[in-house]
Structure 1
Amino acid sequence: MGTWGIGSFDNDDAADFMIDVLDSGDLSLVREVLDNVLTSTEYVEAPDAALAIVAAEVVAAGRGRPTLAAQQEEGLADWLARIRPSIDADLVAQARQALTRILADHSELRELWEETEDSHDWQAVVTELRGHLDP
């Protein structure tokens, strides 16, 4: 995975996923990647985690609580205005649970970030995003 920063959208997987989301007409891709993280039996793979973080950004933005990164993500606000997705409490809870799993043990992405000097900053970004999903 090509990564150029600690932000949710700062990697190749995220960029490719956003293209797919913005080409879609609903939240099915968002639901799918969140489900991948939540149903992984023991270990959350890094690519799944990276996509779930972006999916959580979409959920937070869709419920009117976008992070600064989501506000700056080209096309996201227009897509949300056009699609007007229904963000129910279950989807918000799934996004929050996925982020909790990504920050916990048995997360490849967390382990990869722990090998860098940016680990604490990355964890702060994900934790802040999780806060945008609070009730």
Structure 2
Amino acid sequence: MGTWDIGHFDNDTAADFSGKLDKAAQAERESIVRTALTSTIETDDYLDSYEACQAVASAALIAAQLPGGTPITTAYAPDEPMPAFSPDLRALAASALDRVVAEDSELAELWDETEYSEKWRQSVAELKAVLLT
């Protein structure tokens, strides 16, 4: 995984996910986000960083539409507008974030091997807090 910062889109996987959303029809974008979150939650085995990065990016897109959410301004986020996401995606995204920071998550393990672990975990916790507000 190519990562250049702790931002939710500051890695190759999230940037590629943004491209996938941009190429999809407007009506398909929520389904793509929902699938990324659901597949993360439903993974019983070790969670691959690829899936985890997509879940974090999806959660960030949902949170950006909420009061207290941070607008996404990075060049690595989708260029095309996102639909107004269904309210049920908030809880789904929060659950996916719990799975991302769990012990059996490659992304969490990779961050825990760096000096930025606490900062990354805090950014995920802040994202989750917006989703649950």
- TM bucket by the smaller chain? 0.7 to 0.9
What is the one-letter code of the residue matched to 2:74?
E
- 8 Å CA contact 1:3–1:11 kept in 2: the answer is yes
Question: Structure 2 vs 1, CA of residues 35 and 95 (structure 1 numbering), >3 Å: closer, same or farther?
Answer: same
Question: Structure 2 vs 1, CA of residues 86 and 7 (structure 1 numbering), >3 Å: closer, same or farther?
Answer: closer
Which one of the candidate residues 53, 58, 71 is aligned to 1:55? Answer: 58
Alignment of structure 1 residues 1-135 onto 2, 5 Å:
1-24=1-24, 25=26, 26-68=29-71, 70=72, 72-74=73-75, 79-80=81-82, 84-88=83-87, 90-135=88-133
Shift in Å at residue 28 of structure 1?
1.0
Question: Structure 2 vs 1, CA of residues 77 and 65 (structure 1 numbering), >3 Å: closer, same or farther?
Answer: farther
Structure ranking higher in helix proportion? 1
Give unpaired runs (5+ residues) of structure 1: none
What is the one-letter code of the residue matched to 1:103?
V
- Structure 2 length-normalised TM: 0.87
Give unpaired runs (5+ residues) of structure 2: none
Fraction of identical pairs, as percent: 37
1:29-55 CA deviation, whole Å, 9 max, x = no partner?
Answer: 101110110110132111100010000
- 8 Å CA contact 1:6–1:122 kept in 2: the answer is yes
- 2:45 is paired with a residue whose SS is coil
What is the one-letter code of the residue matched to 1:129?
L
- Structure 1 length-normalised TM: 0.86
Whole-angstrom CA distance in 2 between matches of 1:121 and 1:86? 27
1:81-124 CA deviation, whole Å, 9 max, x = no partner?
Answer: xxx42422x21101000001111211110011111111111111
Q: Tell me how many residue pairs correspond in the alignment.
A: 129
Please give the root-mean-square deviation of Cα atoms over the aligned residues, in Å.
Answer: 1.9
